[in-house]
């Protein structure tokens, strides 16, 4: 299940205006989490590599 389909499934009983607003909020959180995860992975990779030398 994709993020967007999961958001749709969870918000299907909300009025359309609220559903679209909530979808935008959740997608923003999802993108922020993805960005933070990539940063953490990059920092972790850099730390492991530096310690190997």
DSSP state of 13: T
pLDDT higher than threshold 80 for residue 52:
no
Q: What is the pLDDT of residue 23?
A: 86
Q: Which residue has the tokens 């009983």?
A: 13
Q: What is the pLDDT of residue 17?
A: 87
The band of 32, judged by pLDDT with boundaries at 50, 70 and 90, is very high
Please state at what angle helix 16-52 crosses helix 3-11, rounded to 10 degrees: 140
Q: Given CA atoms 23, 29, 31, 37 in this order, what sign does their dihedral have?
A: negative
Q: What is the pLDDT of residue 7?
A: 65
pTM: 0.59
Q: What is the pLDDT of residue 18?
A: 85
């Amino acid at each position: 299940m994709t993020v967007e389909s999961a958001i749709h499934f969870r918000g299907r009983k909300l009025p359309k205006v609220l559903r679209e607003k909530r979808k935008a909020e959740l997608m923003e959180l999802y993108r922020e989490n993805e960005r933070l995860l990539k940063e953490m992975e990059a920092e972790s990779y850099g730390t492991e590599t530096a310690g190997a030398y």
